Chain A
């Protein structure tokens, strides 16, 4: 069964600290892996998209890694800010159709305290 599992479910860190969020997936075949940031009551916003051949991609203070062999990804946030408080969603796309079906994780709820 194609699944995307994220950990931890929630995380609280102090402003300025770093953190790493995890994503494990069983989706096959694999096309790409995406990380989204979703503020409360808003739609998700794309942070990174990685294909099979990419093992790291950065977007400002966000760095995503991908290990397609172990089917694991991580999102590292450096020097956290209060505005980083949000849900971070891992999404994996398969190559089963022209649409490229998307499998969503439940997200990691990050809270940054001052």
Chain B
């Protein structure tokens, strides 16, 4: 049902590396989100976008940055990864109406050594 894709699914990298997590959706949704989730914990919003050239920080402070140059694409970048960035990162999108369903990608499990 969900046409939202994240790559890579798993990523293991060393400290100090620059990484970009990809997220694309083919549903034409204006609203896109990045969440961070640790095991057994709730999802925390770290970035969101209402449309092209619109990005905002979420509730949880994050050293990552995002961009929205195209409607379908919402990549997340970490300039210098640290072990504290180890987590699962979930991308989501939704339509514009208040009770719209939120569609999630399969997530990227990031491990920084």
A interface residues, Cβ below 8 angstroms from B: 4, 31-32, 34, 41-46, 49, 51, 89, 93, 95, 99-100, 102, 104-107, 109
Contacts and interface: CB of A to CB of B under 8 A. Distances in A.
Interface residues of B, number: 26
A107 B31 CA distance: 24
Interface of B: 1-2, 6, 31, 40-45, 48, 50, 88, 90-92, 98-99, 101-107, 109
A49 B101 contact: yes
Contacts of A41: 88, 106-107, 109
B107 A42 contact: yes
B40 A106 contact: yes
A44 B92 CA distance: 10
Given A31-B98, A43-B90, A105 B104 contact: no
A31 B104 contact: no
